[in-house]
Structure 1
């Protein structure tokens, strides 16, 4: 996108074309303005349009330009935070309600894909959370126990079972979540956009929201070449927030995450690695993730930014790590590489904000954007349409939190990931 191969990499090369959209020119009216063309915004627009609302979505760049078009493509249930922690952190009834809704999140994604015929390389074989060492095994065992008591179809695999599922490595075990799977993330975003347009939503790309005015009953959101008037505004910009409600960005620490993709592997390697096509990631603090695309390319990622010296450091580490994990890959080169930003909140949980009168937002997905973004988009639509009350939401209303030392923390994460990968490349 934007002629930058390091922004969306493999996903831009293999996704179906985006639906035709144009910039906003002139003035128009709607019932709801949605700002942001990622999963949350597109899900909101789709559900609102299906509910009979007039929707205008403003996207500053292109559909799926932010995290929605750059992520690994793991469709996981829940959040990074342990299930039992949520009730204590959020209180009743929000904790268990959030667990229940996000536990069903992957099914919501897969249902939308099926309903609207979205071509996005969906694989529903589950995901593997691979344990590194005894501490990692304890972590996945605790996570499994907490999900199992809520009836979730998850199980812990031993080291040998994990090795068969992965096709390599020396993990002490893995959590297999049968609810989960993988998709081509940019293709999914573009498919949601097509579905929203078919339902009657209007989507304007290259249309950054630069101004907001409220006259007492309605909002006017201005772009460089036009404006939209509406009663409601949904802000769905998350980690890439800027413009009138850029404070959402201020409560998030940017954590860079990169991916490299190999060329399509030979058949003998393709059938020996992740033979059942689960997506996988490990329990390391600076974690690694890996999965296949539909054409047999192995996608391998970790924390870090592919810019400056980081590009060469992370590439060398990724090549060495893949060879160590799968010795048969010795000599395999990467075809593409790309990276984006994850927005991390102070407690690793998402937020629901009422930013102003009739201006609402979910944000802070902490690396779990596909299912939560889809679910929360539908929730926002139901709230605006009057189908649910504020007391029915999965999160309490909170004020925007300003993270202290944000720039320093972001520099620490970027530099720290480089140092970790540099040291690991030497040994």
Structure 2
């Protein structure tokens, strides 16, 4: 179980320090953005670099929401296999989305290099691990879709998987050598720093209290001040404010928690993920693990480690660590934290138009770094140029999700029950 209370490792270790003042005066800009995560920061950077005036209002601090609580896997595409994406969206729109997201790692790592973002980037690939023989069958099907996804996947056997991970608990893996890992909060802060350096007006601790359109421009109110803009982007994702219709976004909130050990001894660090790949598995209630620059092992899984099932999720993390890496069984967890994911029923992101020259982007369903960066960049271009064709998906007039509270409770119940029943040694 955690030894030092709930604390977000990424906040402790972020090499990128960033802060911005609250909105303190009325301003007029070309584009106003609500939400300071990957999507909003990427959009602000793109808009400012293009020469447009842009203001971003964040209710808390940059990366406060899911972006600063992310696992940090820089993966291409969605959780869905490409054929499933085509089945949901059709050939034209499906290929449009797949193509846009297949370039995600190149875009993310390119921004990190261009802007000098100190976010522990490691581009040694990510591995989707087969937790069973059935999981390996699933990975073979995904491997066969590699060309469709625009990725050069490698299907590796159990022996090579053990060599790369330092554990023999998996039947094989699907390796994407062009993917990688980052410190997600540092990446988000780095995007914000870069946007500010080229003229973006960034404001933290500036919750939006009203959104209205006056027939010409958008008027966004925060406290006693107002931003006027011809275009609006809502990028709050799973941490949206209590906006009324038509600005409210419908999704299923799902929690994901992570547990970070103390740094491993050098002797074990050389054996556990020695190349620095990030991993997640094929289990129905999936889990993830990766290392950071200091050699901590970070174990993650669906469930709220700060909610009613906290002790169950913490106990699962300890047993999971013991199962995968017995030599680390006594290494203490020094940090644990949770974040919310905006899940959609079909696991496809949504772009909704809540009004003229306005977009709301949300629903990455657990894969936020590349989609957030790609969608934010594209949304800024679409709003500034008036050209929706640059977007990864068609714009919807609205999106609805039924029984979101019940579905969220079901996800948490399933994760808690699974973690409670996870084998004990």
In the TM superposition, what are the counterparts of 1:236-315 in structure 2 within 5 Å? 236-244=235-243, 250-315=249-314
Aligned to 2:204: 205
Runs of 4+ in 1 over 4 A off after TM superposition: 245-250
Aligned to 1:196: 195
Secondary structure at the counterpart of residue 244 of structure 1: coil
Secondary structure at the counterpart of residue 221 of structure 1: strand
Correspondence 1:411 to 2:409: yes
Shift of 1:375: 0.7
Structure-2 separation of matches of 1:59 and 1:182: 25
Structure-1 separation of matches of 2:307 and 2:136: 36
Length-normalised TM-score, structure 1: 0.95
In the TM superposition, what are the counterparts of 1:87-106 in structure 2 within 5 Å? 87-106=86-105
Aligned to 1:319: 318
The unaligned stretches of length 5 or more in structure 1 are none
Secondary structure at the counterpart of residue 231 of structure 1: strand
Structure-1 separation of matches of 2:420 and 2:247: 33
Shift of 1:249: 6.0
Shift of 1:247: 6.4
When structure 1 is superposed on structure 2, of 142-151 and 283-292 the one drifting more is: 142-151
Structure-2 separation of matches of 1:306 and 1:330: 20
Length-normalised TM-score, structure 2: 0.96
Aligned to 1:160: 159
Structure 2 CA distance for partners of 1:359 and 1:408, relative to 1, 3 Å = same
Shift of 1:336: 0.4
Structure-1 separation of matches of 2:25 and 2:150: 52
C-alpha distance after superposition, 1:60-109 (max 9, x if no partner): 00000111000100000000111122223212422111111101101100
Aligned to 1:354: 353
Structure 2 CA distance for partners of 1:245 and 1:197, relative to 1, 3 Å = farther
Secondary structure at the counterpart of residue 128 of structure 2: strand
CA RMSD, Structure 1 to Structure 2 (Å): 1.7
Structure-2 separation of matches of 1:151 and 1:86: 14
Structure 2 CA distance for partners of 1:308 and 1:78, relative to 1, 3 Å = closer
C-alpha distance after superposition, 1:99-132 (max 9, x if no partner): 1110110110000000000000000000000012
Kept in 2: contact 1:90–1:395 (CA 8 A): no
Kept in 1: contact 2:247–2:354 (CA 8 A): no
Aligned to 2:389: 391
The unaligned stretches of length 5 or more in structure 2 are none
Aligned to 1:39: 38
Secondary structure at the counterpart of residue 267 of structure 2: helix
In the TM superposition, what are the counterparts of 1:52-201 in structure 2 within 5 Å? 52-149=51-148, 151-201=150-200
How many residues are treated as equivalent by the alignment? Answer: 422
Shift of 1:169: 3.5
Shift of 1:17: 4.8
Structure-1 separation of matches of 2:247 and 2:303: 22
Shift of 1:151: 4.6
Kept in 2: contact 1:250–1:403 (CA 8 A): no
Aligned to 1:422: 420
Secondary structure at the counterpart of residue 414 of structure 1: helix
Kept in 1: contact 2:118–2:186 (CA 8 A): yes
Structure-1 separation of matches of 2:244 and 2:29: 20
C-alpha distance after superposition, 1:389-422 (max 9, x if no partner): 2234221122433322211111121122111111
Correspondence 1:372 to 2:371: yes
Kept in 2: contact 1:248–1:400 (CA 8 A): no
Kept in 1: contact 2:158–2:168 (CA 8 A): no
When structure 1 is superposed on structure 2, of 81-90 and 283-292 the one drifting more is: 81-90
Structure 2 CA distance for partners of 1:22 and 1:149, relative to 1, 3 Å = closer
